[in-house]
C-alpha cells in the first residue's frame, strides 16, 4: 500500500486495504512472474478492465491508465515504466 501511495496505480482512486486487489503488470498468463517488481495494487474495476492484457496493449488502449501508472507505481521494474511511457506517447501521438 505504501509503494503506491494508497492509490490504484491505473485510475489513481484512493484505495482502502479491504478493497485493493493485486495485479500482475505483465500477466502470469503471458509469462510474467509473481515478484515484487511486477505486482501492483489496483482497484477491482481497473483490475478487471486490464484482465490479462500486456502492459503495452493496456496503456495504448487506455493512455490515462499509463499516465497514472507512471505517477503512482513506484516499486515496479524500470522496464515496465519505460513500456508505459512509450505506449502512452504513441497513443497520444496517433
Provide the pLDDT for residue 1.
Answer: 59
E strand intervals along the chain: 20-24, 39-43
Provide the pLDDT for residue 42.
Answer: 95
Q: pTM of the prediction?
A: 0.89
Q: Report the SS3 class of residue 4.
A: helix
Instruction: Output the CATH code of domain 2-93.
Output: 1.10.30
Provide the pLDDT for residue 2.
Answer: 66
In 3D, which of 36, 57, 90, 58 has the Cα closest to residue 22? 36
What size, in residues, is the chain?
94
pLDDT in tens, 32-75: 999 989 999 999 999 999 999 999 999 999 999 999 999 998 88
In 3D, which of 44, 83, 89, 40 has the Cα closest to residue 63? 89
Residue 13 has pLDDT above 80, yes or no: yes
Amino acid at each position: 500500500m505504501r509503494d503506491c501511495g494508497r492509490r490504484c496505480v491505473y485510475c489513481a482512486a484512493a484505495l482502502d486495504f479491504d478493497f485493493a486487489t493485486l495485479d500482475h503488470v505483465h500477466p502470469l498468463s503471458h509469462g510474467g512472474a509473481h515478484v515484487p517488481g511486477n505486482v501492483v495494487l489496483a482497484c477491482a474495476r481497473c483490475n478487471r478492465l486490464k484482465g490479462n492484457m500486456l502492459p503495452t496493449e493496456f496503456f495504448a488502449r487506455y493512455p490515462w491508465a499509463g499516465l497514472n501508472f507512471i505517477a503512482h507505481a513506484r516499486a515496479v521494474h524500470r522496464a515496465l515504466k519505460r513500456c508505459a511511457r512509450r505506449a502512452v506517447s504513441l497513443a497520444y501521438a496517433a
